[in-house]
Structure 1
Amino acid sequence: MTLYQVALTGSVLTLAYIASYVFYNVFLHPLRAYPGPLLGRASILYMQKQTFDGALVRWLHSLHEEYGPVVRYAPNELSFIDADLVREVYSHRGSAFEKQRDFYGPDAFGSPPGLIRADQAAHSRQRKLVSHAFSDKALREQEQLLKGYAGLLAQKLQEKAAAAVPIDMVRWFNFTTFDIMSDLTFGEPLHLLEESEYTPWVKSIFGNIKMVAFTSILRRWRLLDALFQRVIPKNIRDQRKSHMEHSSMRVEKRLARQTDRPDIMTYVLRYSGGKDEMEKSLLPTELNSNSGLFMLAGTETTATLLSGMTYHLLRNPEKMERLKKEIRTAFGSFDDVHIGELSQLEYLHACIEEGLRMYPPVPLGLPRTTPRGGAMVNGKWLPGGTVISLQQYAAYHSEYNFKNAESFVPERWMPEGQAEYGSDKRDVFIPFSNGPRNCLGKNLAYHEMRLLCVSVLLHFDLELADDKIWTDQNVYVLWEKNPLMVKLTSVKTL
C-alpha cells in the first residue's frame, strides 16, 4: 500500500470508530433513556469543554431547568437534584457507592492516602483519630484562639475604614481563615492578617485549585495524561514540589513541639498509639495529606461563604439591617461574644444557611460510581460504573426544591417562614456533604462563620463599592472569586 492509501485507510477506520462510538452512546447505551443534550450524550468532550471553560456549574443548572431532576450530561454520567440521592448514595446506607477516581485523582503526598482518597477502612480509622480535634469540647478550648483572630480582623479593618478607600472583603476573609487554620493545623499562623498580603505558599494553593480541574479532564484520556505528566514544565514541577515540601516541613515542625495547646495535632497525638500503633495512628503520608486538606477545606470554603453571604446581604438592605440589629442588640461589645451566645442568633444562622444555598462553597456535585453489580438509584436500576452526583448549585437554585430559588430569603429557614416556604425540600440541602464522608469541620466552620460575621457587623456598616454582579464567576472545582469591593464605616469603638 502507498502512504496515501495507509493514511486514507487510517482516516476511514478512525471515522468509523468515532461514528460507532457516538451511535452506541446515543442509541444503545444502558443510559440512553435518560434525557440530556445530544452532544453530551454522544461524547464526554462536550462536558469537558464546559469544565475547561469554568462553565460546568451553570451549564448543569440550565440542563436541569430544561430536562428535569435527572440529566444525562455525558455518556456514562447522570446529574441529580433530587433529595432521594442524598439518602441512597451519600448517607451511611450508600457506602457501596465509591468516589469517582478520575475526579479525585491520586494523593499528592503518596500512599497510603489521606481522608479524601482513603478506602472505607482507612477512612474510618483516620476519621476516628482526627474527629477529636473538631469536637464540641475542642471548639470550646479553641474559642480564645479563634476570637483573637476575629478581633485582629476588626482591628485591621478599622485601619482601612480610617483610610476611607474601598477594600476587597474576599482577601480579608481569606487572610483570617488561613491564619486560623494554619494555627490550628501547624501550631502557628501565616501572619496574613498582620502583613495584609498572601504568602507565595497560599498563592500556590489558589493556583493548584484550577490545575485540579484541568488534570481531572486529562485523567479521562490515559495516553494524553501520561504525555502531559512527561511534558509538565519544570517550573510547575518545582512549584508543586515546593508546595508539598513546605506543607510537610510545617507538619514536622509542629510534631517536634511539646505542647498541649488546643490545636488539631494535639488531639491527634493525644488519641494516637495504644495497643496497636498502626491501627491508632496517622502514618506520615496521611498526616501530610490531611494537613493539606485542612488548609484548603477549612479556609477557602469558609471565606467563600462569608464573601457570598456578605454580597447577598448588601444586595438586600432590609435583610442586612435586620441582621445588624440582632447582632448589635445581643452584644454590647466584642468582649461579650462567646460560642453559646453566637449559636442562639437565629437570624444570623438563617442568613448563613441561605448563603450556603445561594452560593455553596463547593457548587459542583461530588461524583460517586455505582458498584460493579449495579444498584437501584432514584427508583431505577443503574449499571455498575455509572457516575452519579447531586449537583449542589443546580439543586439549590431549582424551583423543584426551593420556592423563589433565585431570591435571598433567610426567613425560609425560620419558623416565621414556614407558612410560605414550608414546602421547600430541605433534605436536598447538604453543603457539608452527608453520611460517613461528610465534612469533619462542620461545627468549626459554622462557629467561624458566625464569629467573623459578628466581628465585622458589630464594628462596621458596609456598602458595595460598585454595582457589578459579583456572583458572575467561573468555577474550577471552587468558585473563581472576583474582588468584593466594599466601603467600610466604623460604627463605634467597642
Structure 2
Amino acid sequence: MAVISIIPFLGVLYAVFTTVRVFLTKVPGPWYTNITSLILKYHEFSGSRRTWIHSLHQRYGPVVRLAPNECSFANFEGMKEIYQSGGSGYDKTEFYDLFKQFDYRTMFSTLKKQDHAQRKRLFADRYAMTNIVRPEIVQGIETRAESVLSKCKESMGGYLDVYVTLHCYALDCASHFLFSPMGTDTLNNPDDMVLIQELTYNNSLKQRWLEYYAPTLSALMFSLRGRNATISKDYVIKQSQQTTPNEATLISRLQSRSDTLQNIQMAAECMDHMSAGIDTTGDGLCFLMHELSLPRSQHVQQRLREEFIQNPNARLDMLPYLDAVIKEGLRLFPPIPMSLPRCVPEGGRFISGYNIPGGSVVSCQAFSMHRLDESLFPDPEIYNPERWIEEKGLVDRNRMFFSFAAGGRGCIGRHLATIEMKTLLKEIYSNFTTSVALEMEGDMSIDDQIIASRPKDQTCLLKFTLY
C-alpha cells in the first residue's frame, strides 16, 4: 500500500525534472551540461569557474547553460531582468549562506528581496553621496591617502609592495567609515597589521565550496582542524559596542536602530562591510596601479597628471579622465568578477528569449559582461580609458558596466569605494610616476576566490619617482 501511495509523488517529481530538462535543453551549451553539474563543480573547486563560463560564452553566445538547472547571461537584457526587474530583481540563492557573519544574515546575505529592502532602509542614508562627502568622512580618507604618500616617499631608491600598502589603506578607510574615531591605522601602527594578515592572506576557495555543497562534512573537518584566530572578528565586536561621537559613521546609525538590531547583528553588518571594502578598494587599486606602471600605460599617467595640473582645485567628480582611468580598471579587473547567482521566481520567466523554469539558478558575471560584446568593448583585454571618453556607444557601455552589480541589490558602498580610489590616485599621480620594480617577479594574473578575485601571488612591487 505504501509503495502504491508513493507512485503519484514519483510521477510528479519526474514530470518536474523532465520539464526543467526540456526547457533548459533549448538553452545553448555543451551537451554534458544538460545531464550533470559535475563539470561546473569541478571548475568551481579548481578555481576556474569564471574562465570556463567565459569560454562558453565565447563559443555559444550571451546565454549559456552551465548545468541542468543553471544558466549564465552576458547581455543587458538578461542582466536587467535578473537584477533590476521589480527594482531588485530575483531573490538570491542559498549560495549566499556562505556570507553570514557570526551566524547572522547581513544585508548582503539576505535571500528575499523584501528582507534586504527592510535591512537596507536602516542605514542606506549613510552610503548616500551626501553623507560620503561630509567633511569628517572626506578628511579621514585624505589623511589615510597622505599616509600612503609617506610610504611612497620612504620607498624612493627602492620599491614598495603596494599590495600590502593598498590593502592597509582600504582597511583603514573602511574602518574609519564604520567606527571613526576608533578605526584602524595599519599604515602607521604595526599592531594593526595582524588584521590585514588575517583578512587578506588566506586561501579558502575549496573550503568555502565544500561548505556550500557539503556543510556537515565541512563543519566536521573544520572542527578537527581547529579554529583559526578570529582577531578581526573580536576587533569588530569590540568596536561595535563603543559609542562614537561621529554621527556620519555606519555604527552610529546602527546603534540608533537598537530597537531593531541586536548588538551581534550590528557587529555582523560591520564585519561584512569591512571585508567587502578591503576587496573592492584594495584589490581594485592594486590591479589598476600595476597596469598604470607598465610601459604601455605611461601615457595614461602623463594625461592624468596634466588633468590634475590644469584643474588644481577641481572636485573629484569634475575630473573626467580620472573617472575613466578608474572605470576602465574596474572593467578590466572587476574586484567581484564572478557570477552573482539568483533564483528564478515560481512559474518561470522568459529571459533573453528563453523560457527558464522557476527554481533555476541564473546569473551574470562582470568578467564576461565587460568583454563579450566586442562591438561595445573592442580589444577587450587592452586597458584603454579613452573608451569611457568616446561618446559613440557610451550609453550602451555604461549599461553593461557591472563592477558594482546592478539594481536595488547592487553594491551599496560604490560611492565610498570610488572616492577612496580617486583620492589616492590623485595624491600619487600628482607627485610621482610609477613603474614596475626590477625585483618584481610576482604573478599579477587574476586569482579567483569564492566570489572576489586578487593578484595570484599577492605581491606587487612598484618604484616611485618624484616629478
Bin for the TM-score computed over the shorter chain: 0.7 to 0.9
Quick one: distance in 1 between partners of 2:64 and 2:251? 43
Unpaired runs of at least 5, structure 1: 1-20
2:144 to 143, 146, 149: 149
Residue matched to 1:287? 266
User: Do 1:26 and 1:32's aligned partners in 2 also have CA atoms closer than 8 Å?
Assistant: no
SS in 2 for 1:290: helix
Query: Counterpart in 1 of 2:239?
Result: 250
Are the equivalent residues in 2 in contact too, given 1:115–1:286 (CA < 8 A)?
A: no
What amino acid sits opposite 1:53 in the alignment?
Answer: S
Distance in 2, matches of 1:108 and 1:429, equals 29
Distance in 1 (CA, whole Å) between partners of 2:44 and 2:198 is 21
Residues 432-451 of structure 1 deviation map (CA, whole Å, 9 limit, x = unaligned): 11111111111111111100
Q: TM-score, normalised by structure 2?
A: 0.86
* Whole-Å separation in 1 of the counterparts to 2:317 and 2:89: 36
Contact 1:370 1:382 in 2 (8 A): yes
**Is the partner of 1:474 in helix, strand or coil?**
strand
Name the larger-Rg structure. 1
Deviation track 1:61-89 (CA, whole Å, cap 9, x = no partner) reads: 11111111111122211111011122211
| Distance in structure 2 (CA, Å) of the matches to 1:179 and 1:459 | 22
- TM-score scaled by length of structure 1: 0.82
Conserved in 2, the CA contact under 8 Å of 1:110 and 1:285?
no
1:318-333 equivalences in 2 (<5 Å): 318-331=299-312
Map 1:482-493; keep pairs closer than 5 Å: 482=457, 483-491=459-467
Q: Does 1:456 align with 2:428?
A: yes
After superposition, the Cα gap between the structure-2 partners of 1:453 and 1:258, relative to the gap in structure 1 and judged at 3 Å, is: closer
SS at match of 1:194: coil
1:371 is matched with 345
Deviations 1:291-316 (A, max 9, x none): 01111112221122212222222332
Q: Which amino acid aligns with 1:461?
A: T
Q: Secondary structure at the match of 1:381?
A: strand
* CA distance in structure 2 between the aligned counterparts of 1:200 and 1:235, rounded to whole angstroms: 21
- One-letter identity of the residue aligned with 1:413: W
Tell me if structure 2 keeps the 8 A contact 1:41–1:75: yes
Native 8 Å contact 1:366 1:390 kept in 2:
yes
Name 1:4's counterpart in structure 2: none
Q: Structure 1 198/43 Cα, relative in aligned 2: closer, same or farther at 3 Å? A: farther
Contact 1:73 1:79 in 2 (8 A): yes
Partners of 2:252 and 2:211 in 1: how far apart?
39
Shift of 1:456: 1.1
Q: Residue 298 of structure 1 aligns with which residue?
A: 277
Taking only aligned residues, the RMSD between alpha carbons, in angstroms, comes to 2.7
What amino acid is the match of 1:412? R
Alignment of 1:156-167 (within 5 A): 156-161=151-156, 164-167=157-160
Number of positions where the alignment pairs a residue of Structure 1 with one of Structure 2: 441
Task: Work out whether 1:54 is the aligned partner of 2:43.
Answer: no
Per mean C-alpha deviation after superposition, the further-off stretch among 82-91 and 395-404 is 395-404
Question: What amino acid is aligned across from residue 252 of structure 2 in structure 1?
Answer: T
* Aligned pairs for 1:56-455 within 5 A: 56-93=49-86, 95=88, 97-105=90-98, 107-111=100-104, 113-118=105-110, 119-141=112-134, 142-161=137-156, 164-187=157-180, 188-195=182-189, 199-206=193-200, 210-211=203-204, 214-220=207-213, 224-234=214-224, 236-239=226-229, 243-252=232-241, 254=242, 257-260=243-246, 262-269=248-255, 272=257, 277-278=259-260, 282-315=261-294, 316-331=297-312, 341-400=315-374, 401-414=376-389, 417-419=390-392, 421-422=393-394, 425-455=397-427
> Does the aligned pair in 2 maintain the 1:365–1:392 contact within 8 Å?
yes
Contact persistence 1:96–1:371 (CA under 8 A): no
**For residues 125 and 423 of structure 1, what CA distance do their matches in structure 2 show?**
32
Quote the Cα distance in structure 1 between the aligned partners of 2:292 and 2:65. 35
Deviates more, 1:118-127 or 1:438-447: 118-127
The percentage of aligned residue pairs carrying the same residue is 24
| Aligned-partner Cα distance in 1 for 2:99–2:275 | 17
Structure 2: how far apart are the matches of 1:57 and 1:423?
A: 26
